[in-house]
């Protein structure tokens, strides 16, 4: 059974940093692209960032480019999101999500989501 477990969320001041890990199990982690999707309170999901299974390519939404960094450690089956220069508008539940295709190229969509971790940016 696929399991994705995010952690690291919490309250942070504007301009601060957080690192979100997502521990994965139940599948061959290095074979799948992984992504972060966030959902602000009362809003729909917003794609944030993705990384291919090999880690060779990364993709970012314009709203986080230059501030957030996605990475993965395939030896530890763990996905990360380093978030710097946080803003109030980054407040959301952050989900990690597994791609539904083992294709080495590109992002296909998400067949498994974690339970999410809440990030609140406020002074």
Taking CB under 8 A as the criterion, which residues in 36-75 touch other proteins?
Answer: 37, 44-47, 50, 59, 61-62
Contacts of residue 54, Cβ cutoff 8 Å, sequence gap at least 6: 30, 104
Q: Which of 29, 36, 68, 95 binds other proteins (CB under 8 A)?
A: 95
Nearest to 27 by CA among 107, 91, 94, 110: 110
Q: Which of 15, 26, 104, 109 binds other proteins (CB under 8 A)?
A: 109
Distance from the first to the final alpha carbon of the chain? 40
15 is a contact residue toward other proteins (CB under 8 A): no
Nearest to 52 by CA among 9, 107, 101: 107
Nearest to 51 by CA among 27, 17, 22, 8: 22
21 is a contact residue toward other proteins (CB under 8 A): no
117 is a contact residue toward other proteins (CB under 8 A): no
What residues are paired with 75 via a beta bridge? Answer: none
Pick the closer one to other proteins by CB: 50 or 68. Answer: 50
1 is a contact residue toward other proteins (CB under 8 A): no
Which of the ranges 15-23, 74-82, 84-92, 111-119 carries the binding residues for other proteins, by CB under 8 A? 111-119
31 is a contact residue toward other proteins (CB under 8 A): no
């Amino acid at each position: 059974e696929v399991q994705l477990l995010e952690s690291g969320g919490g309250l942070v001041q504007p301009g601060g940093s957080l690192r979100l890990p997502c521990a994965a199990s139940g599948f061959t982690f290095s074979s799948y692209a992984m992504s972060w999707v966030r959902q602000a309170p009362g809003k729909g999901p917003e794609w944030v960032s993705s990384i291919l299974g090999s880690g060779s390519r990364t993709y970012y939404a314009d709203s986080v480019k230059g501030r957030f960094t996605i990475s993965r450690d395939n030896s530890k089956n763990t996905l990360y999101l380093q978030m710097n220069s946080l803003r109030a508008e980054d407040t959301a539940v952050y989900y990690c999500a597994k791609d539904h295709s083992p294709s080495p190229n590109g992002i296909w969509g998400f067949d498994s989501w974690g339970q999410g971790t809440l990030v609140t940016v406020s002074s």
